[in-house]
Every structure is written in structure tokens, then in C-alpha cells.
Amino acid sequence: MPEALKTARASHRAAAKRATRGDRIARAYEQLRDLIISGRLAPGSRIIESDIAERLGVSRTPVRSALHRLQQEGYITGVGRQKEQRLVIAPLTQEDARELFEIIGAIEGLAARDAAAVAPPQRGALVAQLHQINVKLSEASRPGHPDPLRIFDLDMSFHRRYVEAGAGPRLLALHDAIKPQAERYVRLYTSALVDEIGRSVTEHDAIIEKIDAANADAAQRSVERNWRNAAVRLSKVIASLGERGSW
């Protein structure tokens, strides 16, 4: 066999091996992140690599890489002294929620600013979709039989719609990386926030109005205000029900 062909095949096998390893890490990361976001791995709970590996049905190597990435993104944190440090699922605290909501408000504000600047036909379709979602959100939160899960889904859909309409690939990547961390809070505390949804609906109406008017500055400010107010509302709920996973 020619030496060049041997080299090519060896290179191909090495690339395939790297791709397979990368796939295992990506799957472990996605599975772990989903477990954290959904609350199936509780805030403050200790992480033991061997237990996680067994739960996911993989070796400890991809789990270790996935945990490192999740720690960089803030889903996992270390507690204790350096040599004795242990990894835990990041707790849910008032201060962390405030910082997260401010960051998301800034990211989504930029997206709303660009959404207000799209061509009139696309903007008109976006406004109609946002209005439809917000009406459903208002209906889902009516006194009597509010549906927290539906409220959560509709609220996420409302924000995601104008983000997708306005954000470029970099901004969208930032949003995808940070928004799920806020979802941890919303999922856990949604039931206690149901009575406040009417205020969110009103703030959403302001966002829709500013996008419809092609007022980029006002659309950005309206989104930022919505997230600041949401942080205040959530902070009051956390103060009442308590933080989760704090040491």
C-alpha cells in the first residue's frame, strides 16, 4: 500500500475518532444541561462524576468535559477550598437571578431594536404573531384556573419570537447560552408568579407597540424594562419562598 494512502487512512481514522469523542461530549453536555434546567438535578446538589456517568450511560471522560463546559457557563459551581473543592449544581439566588435577568434584558433589547427595523411586511407579521401570543398568555393567566406550564411556554414563545426576528447569529448564540439559566428560575417559581402575569402582559403590549411603530430605541427600552421588572417580581417571590441550594 502506498505510504500516502496509509497516511490518509490513518488521518481519516483519527478524525473519525475525534468526531465520535466530540459527539459523546456534546450529548453528555446536552443531557446534563437538560437535567439541570428541568430541576431533575436539584440546585445545590453535589455532583459525583461516576454517578453522572452511570446515569447517562457513558464513561467519565465525556462527563468531565461536559461538566467543565457547564461550569464555565454558570450551571455548575465549585464550593469549598481549592484542594477540597466539590462541584454542585448552581444554587438559585436573588443576586444570581438579578444578574441573569439584566443580561438577558440587554441581549433581548438589542434583538428587539433590530426587530423594529425590519421591513414593514415582516414587521407586520411579527407584530401579529406577538399580539396573538400575548392574548393567549393573558387568557392562560385569568383567575380561577391558571395553567403555570402553559404560561411558561407562552411567555418563552413571546420573547423568542422577536429575538429570532431581530438577532443575528452571534446575538442568537449568546441568547441560547444564557436564557436557559433563567428558565431554571421561571420553571421553579412560575406558580408563585401567576398573579403577576397581568403586569407582564401589559409590558409585552408596550414592546409590541414600539416594534409596530418601528421605534428601535423605545423597543429596546421596553424590553429592558420588562426584564428589570421581572427581576423585581421574582426577587420578591424568592424572598418569600426562599433561595434554593444556597450553602
CATH number at residue 108: 1.20.120.530
pLDDT per residue over 96-112, tens digit each? 999 999 999 999 999 99
pLDDT > 80? residue 146: no
Other Cβ atoms closer than 10 A to 156: 15
Are 146 and 209 members of one domain?
yes
Q: Same domain, yes or no, for 51 and 153?
A: no
The model carries a pTM of 0.84
**What's the total number of domains in the chain?**
2
Q: Quick one: pLDDT band at residue 166, thresholds 50, 70, 90?
A: very high
Give the CATH number for residue 15: 1.10.10.10
Q: How far apart are alpha carbons 229 and 37 in whole angstroms? A: 22
Burial of 208 from C-beta contacts in 10 A (0-12 / 13-18 / 19+): buried
* Residues 185 and 237 grouped into a single domain: yes
CA separation for the pair 166, 108 (Å, rounded): 9
